[in-house]
Structure 1
Amino acid sequence: MAIGVFIMTNLTQMEVKSGWVEHTQKVLGQSNAIVASAVDMETGLRGYLLAGREEFLEPYNAGQDSAYQALAELAVTVSDNPPQVDRLNEAADVLKEWQVNVADPMIALRRAIGDAPSMNDMAIEIRKAKGKTYFDEFRRVIAAFMGAENDLLAERQAVSAEVMSTEFVAASDVKEAVSQVEEASLILHQAQDLLASAIDMETGARGFYLAGDEAFLEPYNVGQEAFKNILTELKSAVEGYPDQLARLDEIETIIDTWRAEVVVPDIALRNQIGDAKTMDDMADLVGEGNGKKYFDGFRAIMAAFHAEEQALMTTRQAENNQTSSSTRTMIPIAIAAAIALSTVVSLLIGSKIGRAIKILTNSMRDLADGDNSVRVQGQRRGDEIGQMARALEVFRESRIALEEAERKAEDKQTEQNAVVHTLSERLSRLAEGELDIQIQERFPEDYECLRQDFNGSVSTLQAIVERVGDTTGSIRNGAEEISQASDDLSHRTESQAATLEQTAAALDELTASVKSSADGARSVEATMNKAGDEARDSGKVVQNAVSAMTEIEESSRHISQIISVIDDIAFQTNLLALNAGVEAARAGEAGRGFAVVASEVRALAQRSSDAAMEIKTLIGDSTEQVERGVDLVGRAGTALQSIVEQVGEITKQVAGIAEGASEQSIGLNEINSGMIQLDEVTQKNAAMVEESTAASHLLKADTSKLTELMSHFGLSHRATSFGGTPELAPTAHGSGGDLDDWSDEASSSAPMAATGTDPQAQWQDF
């Protein structure tokens, strides 16, 4: 037992020390996360200083939140170690001073510079965000890798806890479980270191883009070397996990592509820029190295913190290994001692138990041979032998009681056989239909109630059979009446079904006629609508004709005015010709030729005046004819409008007729549907009446068969017409008076036989 206590103590110590190792690994992981968050801040700051775009500050802002939160959480985790808490507080102060004295002024200065001409080529190249694209993808893949390792760590921690909680556990199992947890934790920390080295590379590259000083490339070069080494170690650690190996290969490809396509070209571009006067204030501020000074101090503090935790890790792992080694040494010794001790104890106990078992075995053998007087020894012992002895005594007493019960059972069996024989003989006679089979001989006391119950049951059965016979006669008479009534109902139902069928056919024809009328009314309505449309179109044509005649009348007036002007011109020409003739006469022989011309002009003017007068007369006649035409066309338009109105009225009336005919058609359809349903119901009723008629005939035949079956029973005092009610014999459980209630209920529920002359039984047509 002492060895077992020692082993359990060592196992408990191993569990506690494994917990401390895990605690230290957690602290180391948190410290790496703090450094990574701080480097994220520096990287985001340098990216913003180069590109001047706010999205480059995202790592800075995210790193700021996570860094201070991780510092606070880690301070709680190591609260049992005051020097470490002081280092964390100092690291937080240094980080805050860097923000106040370096980061914030640089951000303000870069915002003031804005998009002014300053290191244009480098700024434009940085604004393309090629490096950001690669690093976003790198962060996604490394996050997936670390997530898978976190899941594996949680799984192994659960297995380790289960192993530790097992009651009996091998030290090798404990060591293997702890080793697996440490392996997963180490891989997770190496993944964090891989992320930190990549961020160091990005930070160094951006610092060189700003300052152009080779010293700023130191984080880039150191991070590149560390990245290669850590990646090689991780690939070796996860050889058995193809998914994780694929992620590491993807990470290596991303970083190599980033270096080849982004870093190397940008460094070459920065070397070409050299000391050109571009972004002078920013370059000078970065070149002073104030941020580097603060970050060197911050890294030194976190390195000291990390070294302290690493030393604790080494010490606790050594203690855990020592405890595990001592436990493995003591387990074989404990097993050998336990085997020797159990051998000695089993020999001592076996000899003592063997004597008692032998005595009990002899007693069991005597009981098995039928000797119930044997004395069972050892009943007062307090161990298992005593329990066996007491159980054997109970078995002996039970056997004695069982033999006594068997003797009594044989006597009971003899009485029971006699009772069974008598009952079997009476039941055989009852099965043959004989009802006067009362048992007169008394049974033994235990079976007397059975004899009384049998006699009472036979008497009750006899009375029931007699009453059934009487009831059968009444049922036979009722069945004959029902059969006759069913035949009459069947004939009337068939007649009614035929009438309904004829009515339904007539309604169907009427419905078709009304529907045809409704369709004709709809056709007339469509024709009237078309005629109305054509009349309206004719009215429009007449109106257009009136307008044209009006325009012709207006043109005639204009022609009359023109003819008046021509008449005036002819008058003036005639006057001028007259004056010319007078002047030619005065001129004498010299004016003779001119007088001839004047005479011809005068004649021409006279003919023009006469023609104008004739045209004026014709125009006047035409105007009168146009006016009469306009009047006639107007009257025709009025008549057409009246026709249109009359056609519209007729259309409304025809539509009303069509609507009424449609409603009549719908109503007749509903009536027709109702008649069809009524016809179907009548047909079903006819079928049911036929079934009822068949059932009544079947009932009549069944009553005849029942009468024949009743004649099978032999009754000692049976009446000729099954009349009379015999008095029932009492049974062992009560009198036979309950049969009267049953017979009353049967009588009240039985149908009354119709006499054929009852007025209420006469059928009438529907």
Structure 2
Amino acid sequence: MFAFLDDWPLTKKMLAAFSFLGLLLVGLAINGWMSNRDLTSIARKHVEVSVAGMSNMTDVISDIKEMRIIVYSHFNALSDEERAKLQKRLDTASDELDKDLKGFAAVADPSMAGDIARMTAIKGQLDDINRRIFEADLVNKDTGLKLIKSEGKERSHDALDQAQKILDTLRKASEEANARGNASAVTALILTIGLSLISIAALGGVWLVINRTIAQPMARLARVTKTLAEGGTATVPSLGRGDELGEIARAVEQFRLAASERAQIDARAAAEQQMVTNTVRESLVRVAQGDLTADITADFPGTYAELKSNLNEALASLRELIGSVTDSTNRIRTGSTEIAQASEDLARRTEANAAALEQTAAAVTQMDQRLKATATAANSTVQRADQTISVVSSGRSTADEAVQAMTRVAESAKGIDSVIEGLDKIAFQTRVLAMNAAVEAGRAGEAGRGFAVVADLVSALAMRAEEEAGRARDQLTATQADIVTAVGMVEKVDGALSNISSDVGEVHQLLGRIATDNQAQSSAISEISDTIGTMDQSTQQNAAMVEQTSAAARNLTSEVGSLAEQAERFNTGKSSGASSRPAAAPRAKSTARSSGGGYVSPVKPMAVPAASVPAGADDWTSF
């Protein structure tokens, strides 16, 4: 049925199928566009006319009711000011009513022009009756009330009825538009469903044609291609087709023929490869067993000749390398043994240096301690000299105070001498008075005899007072002489104390310089001691490093021995002489030199991991 399509190119087939489907899609699009256009027109008209018109009419009804309320409020107003405000509100409501009517007329259908004209006329009548009611209220309340309940009420009801009539007309028009929209939507839905069913059927037909003319033949060709790829045999279908599948089928047929030829070539190559693989395997087995003389002597095909040459060259290079490794291990073993022995000698010398540094450090420490003791003694002597200077200064101060006191005593003695002289004069005058009294008593006779006795006694007392004053003057003169002598002696003592203070000051300066020199020497000795301590520590570290070097040299000797044993496993075709491992020279036990007592070095060897220490190194001990 579809045989004529076998010669169509795939592009032509796909163009025809997609063109047919495209026409169906265009039909669906046109139907959707027309339906959408009708529904949009109905909806726009409904919004612009019905919804907007109903909104305007609702506002009109609200304005009419507002005007009715304002009229009643004007009737009940209590002041002219309130009536004036209500008049303004009425004018505003009337203007709003005109505005809403004009807005409705702008969006209303032309068929409603008569209703709009009637509504406009009723609005004019309502304005007129409201004006008349306001005027009547100002003249007579009863007349105004009658107009409100009669003609005013009628005009308001007429306006409301007309507005409601227009609203009913708008609702009816909206319902009719809704019905038209529903009918248009149903029609569009039916057309869409029909076109969709046709499109589905067309899609199924296109799929059937593509399956019969493209998919199934391609699947058969794929199965044949897979069979040929797996090495099987099969007949290639669709060789007579004129489209792309026919070209693919003919190309697969060419691949099938080429694969048959390739299989024969691969069989010959596999046989050659098997022979080469077996030969190389045998050679590698011998190499794995340590025989490096396993050169390949069999003839390889031309493509594998280079492999044979490279493998033989590699074996020759390996033989040369193993021989060089063996020679190098022997030399390294000898060198490591010498390094170990030299390290041991260096360790012994380092140990001796450490002992000497230890003794030097001890001697320097003793010197430092003695210098510090000397400096301490000098400081104590300086302190004692300071105390002596203080005592001498105190003695001089005391001598000065004694001289001053003696001077004050001398001055006091002078004052006492003046007093004694005054007493002497008083005694003399008293004796003269007594003599005068005796003369007068003699003149008085018997009456003055008692008075004469008293005058004699007073004269005797005056003479005795003169004698005592003379002795006091003599004693005071001797005391003044002694004071002068004492002052001279005290001044001599002060001079001696001054000389002592000067000499002690010089001693203080000398002791201060000695203490300063001792401190400087102590600081220098301390620095020397620290330096020697640092040198001792460095020597100990060097000893530890020598210990590590010796252990590393012995480990290297062991590892080199193991490497030599591994290298001797290979047969290089050369006679390998008896390369016995040279025994390591026995390590001399390190003995610490001591002078003046046994000295134990504080140097401790660094720990060496047990896995890296050979079994023959058990005699290695720390010095």
Look up the match of 2:211: 358
| 1:516 matches 2:370 | no
| 1:609 matches 2:466 | yes
| 1:690 matches 2:544 | no
User: Structure 1 470/403 Cα, relative in aligned 2: closer, same or farther at 3 Å?
Assistant: farther
User: Structure 1 715/593 Cα, relative in aligned 2: closer, same or farther at 3 Å?
Assistant: closer
Report if aligned partners of 2:237, 2:249 keep a CA contact under 8 Å in 1: no
| 1:430 matches 2:287 | yes
- Residue deviations 1:117-148 (CA, integer Å, cap 9, x gap): xxxxxxxxxxxxxxxxxxxxxxxxxxxxxxxx
Alpha-carbon separation, structure 1, partners of 2:306 and 2:512: 96
User: Structure 1 451/623 Cα, relative in aligned 2: closer, same or farther at 3 Å?
Assistant: same
Shift in Å, 1:671:
1.9
User: Structure 1 430/342 Cα, relative in aligned 2: closer, same or farther at 3 Å?
Assistant: farther
Alpha-carbon separation, structure 2, partners of 1:673 and 1:495: 20
User: Structure 1 718/560 Cα, relative in aligned 2: closer, same or farther at 3 Å?
Assistant: same
* 1:493 counterpart SS class: helix
Look up the match of 1:575: 432
Alpha-carbon separation, structure 1, partners of 2:434 and 2:259: 182
AA matched with 1:623: Q
| 1:666 matches 2:523 | yes
Shift in Å, 1:554:
2.0
Unaligned 5+ runs, structure 2 = 1-31, 45-177, 227-235, 580-584, 586-623
Shift in Å, 1:566:
1.5
The 5-angstrom pairing of residues 719-730 of structure 1 reads: none
Select the residue among 221, 224, 227 that pairs with 1:370. 224
AA matched with 2:369: A
User: Structure 1 350/571 Cα, relative in aligned 2: closer, same or farther at 3 Å?
Assistant: farther
Alpha-carbon separation, structure 2, partners of 1:402 and 1:549: 155
Shift in Å, 1:526:
2.9
Report if aligned partners of 1:466, 1:718 keep a CA contact under 8 Å in 2: no
Alpha-carbon separation, structure 2, partners of 1:481 and 1:415: 57
Report if aligned partners of 1:367, 1:396 keep a CA contact under 8 Å in 2: no
Look up the match of 2:346: 489
Select the residue among 319, 322, 335 that pairs with 1:478. 335
The 5-angstrom pairing of residues 525-544 of structure 1 reads: 525-544=382-401
| 1:710 matches 2:563 | no
Look up the match of 2:323: 466
User: Structure 1 433/656 Cα, relative in aligned 2: closer, same or farther at 3 Å?
Assistant: same
The 5-angstrom pairing of residues 142-157 of structure 1 reads: none
Shift in Å, 1:690:
3.2
Shift in Å, 1:339:
9.0
AA matched with 2:475: L
Shift in Å, 1:559:
1.2
* 1:715 counterpart SS class: coil
Q: After the TM superposition, which of the residue ranges 587-596 and 629-638 deviates more from structure 2?
A: 587-596
User: Structure 1 592/401 Cα, relative in aligned 2: closer, same or farther at 3 Å?
Assistant: farther
Alpha-carbon separation, structure 2, partners of 1:680 and 1:639: 60
Alpha-carbon separation, structure 2, partners of 1:520 and 1:402: 120
Whichever of the two has the greater Rg, that structure is 2
Alpha-carbon separation, structure 2, partners of 1:518 and 1:456: 86
The 5-angstrom pairing of residues 29-40 of structure 1 reads: none
Shift in Å, 1:447:
4.3
Alpha-carbon separation, structure 2, partners of 1:619 and 1:403: 171
- Residue deviations 1:192-240 (CA, integer Å, cap 9, x gap): xxxxxxxxxxxxxxxxxxxxxxxxxxxxxxxxxxxxxxxxxxxxxxxxx
AA matched with 2:332: I
Alpha-carbon separation, structure 2, partners of 1:416 and 1:507: 87
Alpha-carbon separation, structure 2, partners of 1:672 and 1:595: 109
Alpha-carbon separation, structure 2, partners of 1:574 and 1:379: 195
* 2:224 counterpart SS class: coil
Alpha-carbon separation, structure 1, partners of 2:193 and 2:256: 45
Look up the match of 2:134: none
Alpha-carbon separation, structure 2, partners of 1:544 and 1:336: 146
Shift in Å, 1:366:
1.5
AA matched with 2:377: G
Shift in Å, 1:335:
12
Shift in Å, 1:434:
1.8
Shift in Å, 1:587:
5.3
Alpha-carbon separation, structure 2, partners of 1:682 and 1:669: 19
Alpha-carbon separation, structure 2, partners of 1:535 and 1:427: 112
Alpha-carbon separation, structure 2, partners of 1:511 and 1:451: 84
Report if aligned partners of 1:470, 1:721 keep a CA contact under 8 Å in 2: no
Look up the match of 2:490: 633
Alpha-carbon separation, structure 2, partners of 1:335 and 1:588: 193
Alpha-carbon separation, structure 1, partners of 2:256 and 2:391: 123
The 5-angstrom pairing of residues 257-656 of structure 1 reads: 347-354=197-204, 355-356=206-207, 358-359=211-212, 360-370=214-224, 373=236, 415-441=272-298, 443-444=300-301, 446-585=303-442, 591-656=448-513
* 1:370 counterpart SS class: helix
AA matched with 2:368: T
Shift in Å, 1:613:
1.7
Report if aligned partners of 1:571, 1:609 keep a CA contact under 8 Å in 2: yes
Alpha-carbon separation, structure 2, partners of 1:610 and 1:420: 166
Alpha-carbon separation, structure 2, partners of 1:608 and 1:417: 170
AA matched with 1:482: I
Q: TM-score, normalized by length of structure 1?
A: 0.43
Alpha-carbon separation, structure 1, partners of 2:416 and 2:253: 158
- Residue deviations 1:635-679 (CA, integer Å, cap 9, x gap): 323333333333333233223322322332222222222222222
Unaligned 5+ runs, structure 1 = 11-328, 381-388, 723-755, 757-766
| 1:680 matches 2:537 | yes
Q: TM-score, normalized by length of structure 2?
A: 0.52
- Residue deviations 1:11-43 (CA, integer Å, cap 9, x gap): xxxxxxxxxxxxxxxxxxxxxxxxxxxxxxxxx
Shift in Å, 1:488:
3.0
